[in-house]
Amino acid sequence: MYAEGHIIHALAQAGFRITQPRRAVIRALLEDEGYSNPAEVRQRARRYCPTVGLVTVYRTLDLLSEFGFARRIHTEEGCHSYAAANHGHRHSLICRRCGTAIEFEGCDLAAFLARLSRQTGYVIEDHLLELVGLCTPCQMGAVGGR
């Protein structure tokens, strides 16, 4: 996972202001092991900056996604959530019950993507892969629902 200082430095180098609310959102995102919707990020961020607004949370999460520091997660409820991203090209494995999100490396999708490109005529530039299931503790009933 990226360090808070690395993210702040990269954003500052790109010309973005590093405000207290923006720092609070970054910190709130990094401290969650799973994924959070913007309202949940805001709730945690308010511990570091009580005045952080929901618009700032959305804008900061979008900015972090654009820079590759956050991953946008599509949940069953239809709303977007976010998780802190690790270095490099990775994919997500998400527990649908407790919300734990882990990343894994490697994908052997080249043949599938080439076939899909031929079939559809699309030039596929990138891909996201999210696998949803139940983690071991949730399978055993040890964790409550989300």
pLDDT digits (tens, 9 = 90+) for 107-143: 778 888 899 999 999 998 777 777 888 989 899 886 5
Task: Output the pTM of the full model.
Answer: 0.66
Q: Indicate if 99 and 117 belong to the same structural domain.
A: yes
Count of H helices and E strands in the chain? 6, 5
Average pLDDT of span 1-25: 94
pLDDT category of residue 145 using cuts at 50, 70 and 90: very low
CATH number at residue 118: 3.30.1490.190
Do 48 and 102 fall into the same domain?
no
In whole angstroms, give the CA distance from residue 108 to residue 86: 19
Domain hosting residue 121, numbered range: 88-146
Are 78 and 102 found together in one domain? no
